[in-house]
Amino acid sequence: MARRALVRSGADFGVAIAEARAIRGLTQVATAELATVERTYLARIEAGATTLLLDRILRILRRLGAEVIVLLPEEDPDSRP
């Protein structure tokens, strides 16, 4: 069963991304290539750098009683590079 990560801030998104990447056994470089973003951009996201837009969206959802949940992948030994 997939683990759930409750996301209340941009920093929480960064943690979820880092966890999902680790579960898949991927480096930041490999993940950045998969996502077609710069590795430094991915590193900033994982470190908790956020955008005002994302924080505002999450705040609106919280005020409406909604939660954002990220379903992290299950560890699959066959998916490791």
Given a contact cutoff of 8 angstroms between Cβ atoms, the answer to whether 49 and 10 are in contact is yes
CATH number, domain of 18, equals 1.10.260.40
Is residue 60 in some structural domain? Answer: yes
Residue 56 belongs to a domain: yes
From the DSSP assignment, how many helices (H) and strands (E) are in the chain? 4, 2
Per residue in 9-66, pLDDT (tens digit) is 888 989 999 999 999 999 999 999 999 999 999 999 999 886 778 888 889 899 999 9
Question: What DSSP element (H or E) covers 43?
Answer: helix 39-46
The helix (run of H) or strand (run of E) holding residue 68 is strand 68-72
Q: Six-digit token pair at 31? A: 């993940």
C-alpha atoms less than 13 angstroms from C-alpha of 78 in its C-beta half-sphere: 0
Examine residue 80 and state whether it is found in any structural domain, yes or no.
no
Q: Is the pTM of this model over 0.75?
A: yes
At residue 76, the pLDDT reads: 66
Instruction: Find the domain containing 60 and state its range.
Output: 3-73
Q: Residue 81 falls within a domain, yes or no?
A: no
